[in-house]
Chain A
Amino acid sequence: MSASTQGAAAADSGLAQAAPRRPGAIKTAILTQPQALIGLAIIGAFVIIALVAPLFLSGDPKAKVGPIFEPPSTAHPLGLDGGGADMIRLLIAGTRVSLLVGFCAALVSAIIGGTIGVLSGFFGGKTDIALMRMTDYFLVIPDIPLMIVAAALFGRSLTNIIIIIGIIYWTTTARLIRAQVKSVRERVYVKRSRALGAGNGRLIFKHILPQVAPLLIANTVLLVAYAIFAETFITFLGLGDPSVISWGRLIENAFQDDAILNNAWWAIVPPGLCVTLIVLGATIFGQSLEDGLNPRLRVGHLSVRRFKVRPLRGKLDTE
């Protein structure tokens, strides 16, 4: 997923004024867009599985319960993997780790990107130029090779992977938040507050942050998708944490254990399907939220990524 290209184009457009933010903006954005609801439902389902399922299951999911690559049966509806472990148990364990990586890494980049975006947009001038130049350089450097190199150099632990993914994906967030902060900063109430003697800290935390928070949340949801995707990538190349089971690891295991030669589709298809579903869910949820909250993204020529386009001006009869 080319996070960088989207962000660069989407965020370069600090011209238009953002819509006035009302309380409950996120709720409205969700409820008015069916796509957002579908996405939310998918994410919610996986979160519930990750939280609830382990309450009913005990023991090691990697435990050998039968012959390797046993086809699906009533006892094991998704069959067994190359180590003879139950695929369903593995998938559930993988859900926890993949979601953990996704949410934590997204949080890391939201914090870094949010801070840089707010500082850059709020203070403007030299701070802005310096920070945005830096962001631009990092935007261009291809994220996946950088991630692979960093993961190869820093050892294979879950924390490292979270930090690496988080540190690499902050750039688009910074761009987006900066554009938003710049427009909020010019609003009358912020100016009035400043005239009344409010300090920078108060302005940022009391007036700016609440206004950009919904957009930051929407962007973080998108980052969850990138992060889960990236984790499967790193893990597949043998750079994942060897001690935990994630969806990425299940795909890697299937590949390494020659599931293909054994024709064991049940070991290959489900983990990738989970990744696809959650990435799809987070992508459509995050993008509909962004579109709902930031009308600028809907203006065609300002954004590379456009799911919603402006209505056709001339009515075109397609028949």
Chain B
Amino acid sequence: MGGFDYLAKRLLFAAVTVFVAITLNFVLFRTLSGDAVSALRCRQCTQAFKDYQRHELGLDESKWQQYKLYLNDLAHGDFGRSLRSQAPVTTEIWPPIKNTIAMVALGTFFSIVFGILVGVISAWRRGTAADKGGLWTGLAFYSMPPQWLGLLMVLFVAGALGLPTSGIKDPTLGILSDASTWDVFVDKMRHMILPALTLGLVLFGEYALVVRSAMLETLGEDYVLTARAKGLSNWSIVWKHGLRNAALPIITLIALSLGFIIGGSITIEYVFSYPGIGLAVVEAIDQRDYPILQGAFLLLTFSVIFANLVADLLYFKLDPRVST
């Protein structure tokens, strides 16, 4: 089978998965759980308003009609409207998504750095106390509930480092004097560090384990032996010959772990009141604002499907053997 077939297959798979996710979403929200309007928590809503909402949302049509309508709306990029604010879901969840992307990127960066450091040191010092210590630390963090680690961070670390523990913006910023772009940036970063660090710690264990075993495999290869025989420095052997060749499983793992990253970031954002998509989900649950919940779930799912596709394509690029 050629490379083109492989690509086509992966693309088709991603497309079908998107369709499955959409359908699952429809089934969950529209058929199994009653309807969104009656679940809405809203004291002022009159019966007339609810009926109007139902009609607006097409909830008085047959399920099959609703499904077709729903697919049609989605195809036009219409995710519906928030039941609370009446604003389109896309405009409601776009700002939180930007915040989440920034935080998750920083967190993933932390975890990659820790993971590679611990993994490489563990592999290099295989069987020593450093190796065991690194692995067990990684495993312990891997087993911690992210929300709990977040609470520990607030309790023990935030005070010591003098970092803020909630929100994304210092309320006093820009009140006494105009804040420069730089000040705003620094303020945002300061708010982002603790949630990102929490995410990084939760994730790094898994990365460290994979880096370690990938490194062990490459360090056992003949070309590494050759490199040693040539008298190259340890540094050059580990980074240039070892890690570069161990990159394949590491990159794939990072792309594949996006699902978990997203899951972890939901509770972490809640702990730190960080205004990201996770906090939006928690608020939507609280207010029974199903369209927001639905939109967020779809977007999260799409991004994971997309990351999987990217992982497949990367794998193909880095290792042509997979196309067979």
A interface with B by C-beta (< 8 Å):
1-2, 4-5, 8, 136-138, 140-146, 148-150, 152-154, 225, 229, 232-233, 236-239, 248, 251, 254-255, 260, 263, 265, 268-269, 271-272, 275-277, 279-280, 283-284, 300-301, 304-307, 309-310, 312-314, 316-318
CB pair B142 A1 closer than 8 Å: yes
- From the candidates B124, B210, B264, B285, name the one contacting A148 in the complex (CB within 8 A): B285
One of B45-53, B88-96, B189-197, B214-222 at the interface: B214-222
Q: In the complex, what residues of B have CB within 8 A of residue A268's CB?
A: 148, 151-152, 155
* Contact flags B287-314 to A (C-beta < 8 A → 1, else 0): 0000001101100110011001000000
A236-B270 in contact given A146-B297, A154-B33, A318-B126 (Cβ < 8 Å): yes
Interface of B is mostly: helix
Measured CB to CB, the residues of B under 8 A from A are 13, 16-17, 20-21, 24, 28-29, 32-33, 124-126, 139-140, 142-145, 147-149, 151-152, 154-156, 206, 209-210, 213-214, 216-217, 219-222, 224-225, 228, 249, 252-253, 256-260, 262-264, 266-267, 270-271, 281-282, 285-286, 293-294, 296-297, 300-301, 304-305, 308
Q: CA separation between A318 and B285, bound complex, in Å?
A: 54
* Docked-complex contact A2 and B206, CB < 8 angstroms: yes
B216 → A minimal CB distance (Å) = 5
Query: Given A153-B29, A236-B270, A301-B217, list of 8 further CB < 8 A pairs?
Result: A152-B285, A233-B145, A233-B147, A237-B266, A238-B282, A300-B214, A309-B217, A318-B125
Q: Which chain A residues lie closer than 8 Å to B214 at the CB level? A: 300
Name the distance in Å between B143's Cβ and chain A's nearest Cβ: 4
Is the Cβ of B209 less than 8 Å from the Cβ of A140?
no
Q: Which residues of B contact A301 (CB under 8 A)?
A: 217, 249
Task: Say yes or no: B260 contacts A260, CB within 8 Å.
Answer: no
Instruction: Check B257 against A307 for contact (C-beta < 8 Å).
Output: no
Give every chain A residue within 8 A of B145 (Cβ-Cβ). 229, 232-233, 236, 248, 251, 272, 275-276
Partner of A237, one of B126, B259, B267, B294: B267
- Taking CB atoms, residues of chain A closer than 8 Å to B266 are 144-145, 148, 237
**C-alpha spacing A73/B13, complex, angstroms:** 59
Closest chain B residue, CB of each to CB of A317? B228
- On whether the beta carbons of B262 and A142 are closer than 8 Å, the reply is yes
Interface of chain A: mostly helix, strand, loop or mixed: helix
Smallest CB separation, B228 vs chain A (Å): 8
Q: Is the CB of B143 within 8 A of A276?
A: yes
From B29, B140, B217, A300 is in contact (CB under 8 Å) with: B217
Q: Are B152 and A272 in contact (CB-based, < 8 A)?
A: yes
Query: In the complex, which residues of chain B have a beta carbon less than 8 angstroms from the beta carbon of A305?
Result: 209-210
Q: Are B213 and A306 in contact (CB under 8 A)?
A: yes
Contact B20 A141 (CB under 8 A): yes
Known contacts A140-B304, A233-B145, A314 near B225 by CB under 8 Å: yes
Are B209 and A306 closer than 8 Å at their CB atoms? yes
The one of B126, B142, B154 in contact with A260, judged by C-beta atoms closer than 8 angstroms, is B154
Note all chain A residues with C-beta closer than 8 A to B308: 140
Task: Give the contacting residue for B20; candidates A137, A143, A265, A306; CB below 8 A.
Answer: A137
Are A5 and B20 in contact, CB atoms less than 8 angstroms apart? no
A-B contact pairs, 24 of them (CB 8 A): A2-B206, A140-B17, A140-B308, A141-B304, A141-B305, A142-B262, A142-B304, A145-B262, A145-B266, A146-B297, A148-B266, A225-B143, A229-B145, A237-B281, A251-B147, A260-B154, A265-B156, A271-B148, A304-B252, A309-B217, A312-B126, A314-B224, A318-B124, A318-B126
Q: Whose C-beta in chain A lies nearest to the C-beta of B248?
A: A301
Interface-centre pick from B216, B219, B259, B286 (highest chain A CB count, 10 A): B259
A280 contact from B143, B219, B253, Cβ within 8 A: B143
- Minimal Cβ-Cβ distance residue in A for B123: A309
Known contacts A236-B147, A280-B140, A318-B126; A152/B263 CB under 8 A: no
Q: How far is the CB of A37 from chain B (nearest CB, A)?
A: 15
A277 to B143, CA, bound (A): 8
Q: Judge whether B300 and A142 touch: CB under 8 Å.
A: yes
A1 surroundings in chain B (CB, below 8 A): 142, 260
Q: Which chain B residues border A304 with CB–CB below 8 Å?
A: 210, 249, 252-253, 256
* A-B pairs, 10 with minimum CB distance: A144-B263, A272-B148, A142-B259, A279-B143, A306-B213, A2-B260, A153-B33, A5-B256, A312-B220, A280-B143
Q: With a CB–CB cut-off of 8 A, which chain B residues contact A251?
A: 145, 147-148, 151
Contact call A314/B253, Cβ cutoff below 8 A: no
| Residue in B263, B286, B296 whose Cβ sees the most chain A Cβ within 10 Å | B263
CB neighbours of B155 from chain A (8 A): 260, 263, 265, 268
Q: Is the CB of A254 within 8 A of B151?
A: yes
State in angstroms the CA–CA spacing of A184 and B85 once bound together.
58
Bound complex: CA A236 to CA B258 (Å) = 21
- B202 nearest in chain A by CB position: A1
Central interface residue in A5, A138, A305, by most chain B CB within 10 Å: A5
Chain B residues with CB below 8 A from A152, complex form: 285, 293
Closest to A280 in B: B143
